[in-house]
Structure 1
Amino acid sequence: MSDAVRVESLHKTYDDTVTALAGVTAGFPNGTFTAVMGPSGSGKSTLLQCAAGLDRPTGGRVFIGGTEVTAANDTKMTKFRRQRVGFIFQDYNLLPSLTVEQNVVLPLRLAGRKVDRRRCREVLGHLGLGDRLNDRPEKLSGGQRQRVAVARALVTEPAVIFADEPTGALDLRSAQDVLALLRAVVHQYGRTVVMVTHDPMAAAYADSVLFLADGRLAGELRNPTADAVAERLAHLGDAARVGVAA
């Protein structure tokens, strides 16, 4: 199985003093759902930002769909990201002045691509938002807003969707609905999802969990359960506290 995303020897430092990533190599296969977890400060959000082309690593390479995005200049990277990458954020990142439909097609407009309104409405219909096309985000619940964000990520038909704490602002029921939706995106639509989360329950929806600690890979768990993820995180947290104490 080929990788939708691959990072090789990824390093990221800030101000030449803080090391966020220290040589991470990992692959995210096509058509899979991977959760990335670790203690606070482990580098998980930095890994997502570098892998998605939102931030440049200090060293190493990033490949999306076989294309090395780290070799591109900023303009080309931005263009590639708009065409091949979808994003879902904790705070939805919807524009309040736009309707649901306008928010969903915005990435297509920014990329200079033709807007297929039938495709857009089809996606929104599948996500239970077919009757909310002309509503603005303020009229939607948190769960509905995140569904709009999922639709926006899907409509560009990206090589990979990066989700950064997508359920962090949702109640339990809405979170479960969105996570089930992300699983369906992978297993029914064949997309690839990479999700950063701190929640073991959320990670249990993924096919596998990649653990980070101190900017390095600290293991992988396939077919995760919430209990197994929580136990692994507890061990990582204990190790981090011991390191600080030492």
Structure 2
Amino acid sequence: MTRTPYPAKPAQRPPVRHSVVLRDVVKTYRTGATTTTVLDGVTFAFPRRTLTAVMGPSGSGKSTLLHCAAGLDRPTSGSVSVEGTELTSLDEAALTRLRRDRLGFIFQAYNLVPTLTVRQNVTLPAELASRRVADSAARDVLARLGLGGHADARPAKLSGGQQQRVAIARALLSEPAVIFADEPTGALDSRSAAEVLGLLRDAVDDAGRTIVMVTHDPIAASVADAVVFFADGRVVDTLHRPSADAVAARMATLGAARPNGGAR
């Protein structure tokens, strides 16, 4: 009697070394007969469990890069992968699920619902996804961010730094693999900005998150593991283990190279 061999085990996928990978990404916008190129063949990989700052002159394409990397906008051509999943091949429903389940977002404008309490704002994304959040989990993340005494407050009763911490708590509660932050300290005073940057750094060092942060502030960029510099829709330089002075000096050379603004 011939025994049927067991089927071969599927090959294990190699561990993902980079959380976000962009390959030859182009993004153009058309207004009438005019086509504007905002991202011009960007190829870059953001390593896992790191905080990377993205910097560049106004209009250089850094926010568009963030939106394409996060699946909030689709590139005109090229590919974007997040945690090994190719975004450009997903339909809108699948893309929405991936953003909801695997990604976190922190924006300068906070995007809090003013009629909801802090606790309700933090748990809202999970509730919209029909996913139950344990009260203990919500209490824990609020306590870690210094918001334990504000769980029942409305956003209007909080300072700017406290509101941004609510936005961070909301992003962390779903335990995302990647957090995208667009100018998270841009509207904060220096003390609140330092607190928020410390929280983002802890999310990488203690919780193993990957953070991609657009910023214009050399001090904010100095907490990152690396800074990626953008100009005219392209990556022009990368600075590892940055200092605020080194970042400011490199930004000055980018500005000097664009005497007419060069905004796109």
Q: Report the TM-score range of the alignment, normalised by the length of the smaller protein.
A: over 0.9
Q: 1:243 to 1:156 in 2, by over 3 A?
A: closer
Residue 187 of structure 2: which of 142, 165, 169 is its match?
169
More helix by share: 1
Contact 1:64 1:159 in 2 (8 A): no
Deviations 1:65-108 (A, max 9, x none): 10011110112111111111100000110000000010001111
Partner of 2:7: none
Contact 1:39 1:236 in 2 (8 A): yes
Partner of 1:63: 81
Matched, 1:93 2:111: yes
Gapped regions of structure 1 (runs ≥ 5): none
Matched, 1:8 2:23: yes
Partner of 2:47: 29
Alignment of 1:199-218 (within 5 A): 199-218=217-236
Aligned mates of 1:203, 1:62 — CA distance in 2: 24
Aligned mates of 2:244, 2:134 — CA distance in 1: 39
Residue 129 of structure 2: which of 102, 111, 115 is its match?
111
Residue 243 (structure 1) shift: 8.6
Contact 1:82 1:110 in 2 (8 A): no
Report which stretch shifted further, 235-244 or 214-223: 235-244
Residue 147 of structure 2: which of 129, 137, 143 is its match?
129
Aligned mates of 2:182, 2:204 — CA distance in 1: 16
Partner of 1:18: 36
Deviations 1:204-232 (A, max 9, x none): 01110001110011110000011100110
- What SS does the corresponding residue of 2:258 show, helix, strand or coil? helix
Query: 4+ residue runs of structure 1 moved beyond 4 angstroms?
Result: none
Partner of 1:142: 160
Partner of 1:77: 95
Aligned mates of 1:225, 1:112 — CA distance in 2: 43
Residue 120 (structure 1) shift: 1.3
- Using the size of structure 1 for normalisation, the TM-score is 0.97
Contact 1:7 1:51 in 2 (8 A): yes
Provide the identity percentage: 61
Partner of 1:54: 72
Aligned mates of 2:132, 2:205 — CA distance in 1: 27
Deviations 1:149-182 (A, max 9, x none): 0000000111100000000110010001101110
Aligned mates of 1:170, 1:243 — CA distance in 2: 26
The alignment covers a number of residue pairs equal to 244
Give 1 or 2 for the bigger CA radius of gyration. 2
Deviations 1:41-88 (A, max 9, x none): 110000000000111110111111100111101121111111111000
Q: 1:243 to 1:117 in 2, by over 3 A?
A: closer
Give the counterpart letter for 1:8 in structure 2. R
Aligned mates of 1:4, 1:130 — CA distance in 2: 31
Report which stretch shifted further, 97-106 or 12-21: 12-21
Residue 112 (structure 1) shift: 2.1
